[in-house]
């Protein structure tokens, strides 16, 4: 606040005297008037403290849902799927099944490309053979349109360019083994891909004993048409096979790349009786792919689940003691087929690699 002092000077003018003299002007000084002006300061509005809205407390986000694969339901018309206790641990490829070709071959899509896949270790009837449709339908119900996991053994592809794989469903079902267990497939070993050969043989024996699928009876809970074996027509001049030869004798595998230099005498073909009764294979013939490359079996009772080998030129009594007696290699390392004929000349098994 400031004090302002104002000095006012008053002048008194006295009029002229009658004598014409001018009366001097007297200036009377006035006391200085002190005028104190109080400057009233208009109060400034208080400084506004900016008020910000309270920072919202972040609400906790809902937990990110954990992706849980829903187990693929087992078809209601198939027995409980096989969940092997020896689930393999190698890394597996993930794919989606786009088409079922037959009982042991599918087409898959992976990484934007399509590939044919041949199941390893088992074989189902070919088109035109008994039980072809039933096996293909069983495979379709198991895998069509589903996500599958593929496990490689040793070989990448077969000679037809198909991927060779063991196939699993999301719920762990081992598809190759499941088809054998249900009786829609029989074992067929293609070296060197033999990882589960013994396991498949155990499943086949159980399927045969239970009479499932190929083995003459429908699966216990299956609605698929059961296989009723139809006797093959026999030439009128051929005798009817004896009753004990109702079994299923197959070529199980062929070891075609022997280690004996040049002559590969240690090559062999394995035949197995997958029936529930012994089979006398006397007079049966094993052909090594070319005319004249034959071994004719002597009278021999092949027992259920028994496996015998026919060597190129070695004798192994522990494997039944059979040999072609050939001084040169018989099985073509680049690919070949073996054929087994019964005593009536009917082809009963074929194995190609």
Give pLDDT tens digits for 51-71. Answer: 545 544 544 444 544 444 444
Percent share of the chain, pLDDT over 90: 44
User: Which of 203, 219, 235 marks a domain boundary?
Assistant: 219
Contact predicate 293/287, CB 8 Å:
yes
Give the rounded percent of residues in the chain with a pLDDT score beyond 70.
65
Give the number of domains in the chain: 2
Residues 302 and 183 placed together within one structural domain of the fold: no
What is the DSSP-derived secondary structure letter of residue 177?
Answer: H
The pLDDT assigned to 220 comes to 41
Among 92, 99, 162, 350, the one annotated catalytic:
162
Asked if residue 238 belongs to a domain, the reply is no
Final residue in a domain of this structure, among 185, 219, 253: 219
Q: Which two structure tokens, joined as six digits, stand for 257?
A: 């790349």
Range(s) of the domain holding residue 180: 92-219
Query: Could you tell me the CATH number of the domain that includes residue 174?
Result: 2.40.50.90
* Rounded-to-integer distance, Cα 347 and Cα 159, Å: 23
Q: Per-residue pLDDT for 46 more than 90?
A: no
Q: What is the pLDDT of residues 93-127, one digit of tens each?
A: 999 999 999 999 999 999 999 999 999 999 998 88
Task: Out of 118, 140, 181, 208, pick the active-site residue.
Answer: 118
133 lies in some domain: yes
Same domain? 181 vs 286? no
With respect to residue 230, please indicate whether it lies within any of the assigned structural domains. no
- More confident: 46 or 202: 202
At 125-172, the pLDDT tens digits run 888 888 899 999 999 999 999 999 999 999 999 988 999 999 999 999
In terms of domains, do 215 and 248 share one?
no
270 catalytic residue (yes or no): no
User: What local confidence, expressed as pLDDT, does residue 191 receive?
Assistant: 80
pTM of the model: 0.45
Distance (Å, rounded) from C-alpha 18 to C-alpha 15? Answer: 9
- Alpha helix segments (H runs only) across 113-214: 132-143, 175-181, 197-210
CATH number, domain of 310, equals: 2.60.40.1260
pLDDT of 246 > 80? The answer is no
Q: Is the per-residue pLDDT at 27 higher than 90?
A: no
C-alpha distance from residue 187 to each of 11, 170, 210 (Å): 144, 24, 16
Q: What is the mean pLDDT of the chain?
A: 76
Q: How far apart are CA 250 and CA 272, in angstroms?
A: 5
Q: Which residues contact 105 (CB under 8 A, 6 or more apart)?
A: 116, 117, 118, 119, 162
**253 and 327 belong to one structural domain:** yes
249 and 207 part of one domain = no
Q: Is the pLDDT assigned to residue 49 strictly greater than 60?
A: no
How far from the centroid of its chain's Cα atoms is residue 195's Cα?
Answer: 17
Instruction: Look at residue 20 and tell me if it is in a domain.
Output: no
C-alpha to C-alpha distance for 280 and 349, rounded to whole angstroms: 16
* Distance in angstroms (rounded) separating the CA atoms of residues 225 and 222: 8
Q: What is the pLDDT of residue 67?
A: 41
Tell me, yes or no, if 118 is annotated catalytic: yes
Whether 38 is in a domain gets the answer no
User: Is 42 part of any domain?
Assistant: no
Residues 250, 205 share a domain: no
Answer for the pair 175, 203: CB distance below 8 angstroms, yes or no.
Answer: no
Stretch 185-214: mean pLDDT: 89
Residue 20: DSSP 8-state: S
311-319 mean pLDDT:
91
Say whether both 192 and 298 belong to one domain: no
In this predicted model, what pLDDT tens digit does every residue of 321-353 receive, in sequence order? 999 999 999 998 888 899 999 988 888 999 988
Q: Are 282 and 300 in contact (CB under 8 A)?
A: yes
| Listed range (19-33, 97-111, 121-135, 229-243) with the worst mean pLDDT | 229-243
Claim to verify: residue 127 and residue 190 sit in the same structural domain = yes
Residue 236 within any structural domain of the chain: no
Do both 96 and 214 map to the same domain? yes
pLDDT for residue 54: 54
Same domain, residue pair 192 and 281: no
- Residue 353's pLDDT is what? 80
Instruction: Please check the confidence at residue 241 and state whether its pLDDT lies above 70.
Output: no
pLDDT at 317: 87
Mean pLDDT of 76-81: 46
pLDDT at 231: 47
Q: Are residues 215 and 255 in the same domain?
A: no
Which residue among the candidates 96, 109, 126, 129 is catalytic per the annotation? Answer: 126
Task: Clarify whether residues 97 and 210 are in a common domain.
Answer: yes
Task: Evaluate whether residue 82 is within a structural domain.
Answer: no
pLDDT digits over 252-286, tens only?
Answer: 899 998 888 888 999 999 999 988 888 999 999 99
């Amino acid at each position: 606040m400031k004090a302002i002092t104002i000095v006012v000077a008053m002048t008194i003018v006295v009029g002229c005297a009658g004598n014409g003299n001018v009366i001097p002007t007297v200036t009377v000084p006035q006391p200085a008037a002190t005028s104190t002006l109080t400057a009233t300061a208009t109060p400034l509005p208080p400084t506004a403290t900016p008020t910000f809205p309270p920072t919202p407390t972040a609400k906790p986000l809902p937990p990110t849902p954990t992706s849980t694969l829903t187990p693929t339901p087992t078809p209601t018309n198939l027995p409980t799927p096989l969940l092997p206790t020896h689930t393999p641990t190698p890394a597996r490829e993930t794919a989606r099944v786009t088409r079922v070709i037959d009982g042991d071959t599918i087409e898959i899509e992976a990484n934007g490309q399509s590939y044919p896949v041949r199941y390893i270790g088992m074989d189902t009837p070919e088109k035109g053979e008994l039980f072809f449709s039933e096996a293909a339908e069983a495979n379709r119900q198991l895998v069509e349109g589903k996500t599958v996991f593929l496990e490689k053994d040793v070989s990448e592809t077969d000679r037809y360019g198909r991927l060779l794989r063991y196939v699993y469903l999301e719920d762990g079902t081992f598809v190759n083994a499941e088809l054998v267990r249900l009786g829609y497939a029989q074992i067929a070993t293609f070296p060197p891909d033999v990882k589960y050969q013994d396991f498949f043989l155990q499943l086949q024996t159980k399927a045969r004993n239970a009479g499932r699928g190929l083995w003459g009876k429908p699966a216990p809970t299956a609605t698929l048409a059961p296989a009723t074996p139809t006797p093959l027509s026999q030439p009128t001049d051929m005798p009817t096979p004896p009753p004990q030869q109702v079994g299923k004798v197959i070529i199980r595998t062929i070891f075609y790349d022997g280690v004996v230099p040049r002559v590969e005498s240690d090559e062999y073909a394995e035949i197995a009786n997958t029936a529930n009764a012994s089979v006398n294979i006397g007079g049966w013939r094993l052909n090594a792919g070319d005319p004249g490359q034959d071994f004719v079996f002597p009278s021999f009772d092949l027992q259920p689940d028994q496996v015998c080998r026919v060597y190129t030129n070695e004798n192994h009594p522990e494997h039944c003691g059979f040999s072609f007696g050939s001084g040169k290699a018989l099985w073509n390392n680049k690919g070949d087929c073996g054929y087994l004929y019964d005593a009536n000349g009917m082809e009963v098994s074929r194995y190609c690699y």
